[in-house]
Amino acid sequence: MPKMPDPAAIESSLTLAADRAGDPTPLVYARLFAQHPEMAELFCQDRSNAVKGEMLTRVFEAILDFIGPRNYADHLIRSEGAAHDAYGVPPAVFTTFFKVIADTLSDTLSDILGPDWTHEFETAWQSLLLDLEALTPSVTPAKAGAHLPPSENQAQSSR
């Protein structure tokens, strides 16, 4: 049976990182775009980082609910895929984004906290990431381009 994420460790790591670095939005998205440059195009009009900040805030809220009462996080994560499809972001891209942003957040927190990143924090975040992965559908290369026009889909498959 998989180990449940430790809510206290997740919350403590978020609090310590906020105390040290303030708003982690620029750090999280810099890492995200370094690892996945194609995702930067989705935010080309967000010059003030307001959209990125709001999205990361929603990720924090979803994570805190997900490790706590689970009043809405499961539904929010699933329904946001459909909402993003309406914005022109294919569900497969949203799923990839959510997984990557959660993983990127964990890595960014680890960097911010440095030697204060504990084994308990690492274990809690890895458990959380596994739980989130189980909640979101798998993305295969075929699914990832399923919503693209044929010319873009062919270009993607040739990469």
- Ordered by start, the domain boundaries in the chain are 7-157
Does residue 104 have a pLDDT over 90?
A: no
Summarize pLDDT for 11-37 with one digit per residue, the tens: 999 999 999 999 999 998 998 888 888
Prediction pTM value: 0.76
- Residue type for position 113: L
63 Cβ neighbours under 8 A, 6+ residues apart: 10, 73, 102, 128
- Answer for the pair 24, 138: CB distance below 8 angstroms, yes or no: no
Q: Would the pLDDT of 108 be above 60?
A: yes
DSSP code string of 51-81: HHHHHHHHHHHHHHHHTTT-SSHHHHHHHHH
pLDDT for the residue 32: 86
Per-residue pLDDT band for 2 (boundaries 50, 70, 90) equals: low
* pLDDT tens-place string over residues 133-156: 777 665 443 343 443 334 444 444
Q: State the CB neighbour count (10 A cutoff) for residue 42.
A: 19
Instruction: Report the CATH fold assignment for 7-157.
Output: Globin-like (1.10.490)
Per residue in 87-102, pLDDT tens?
Answer: 777 777 776 777 777 8
For 1, other C-beta atoms within 10 Å of its C-beta total: 3
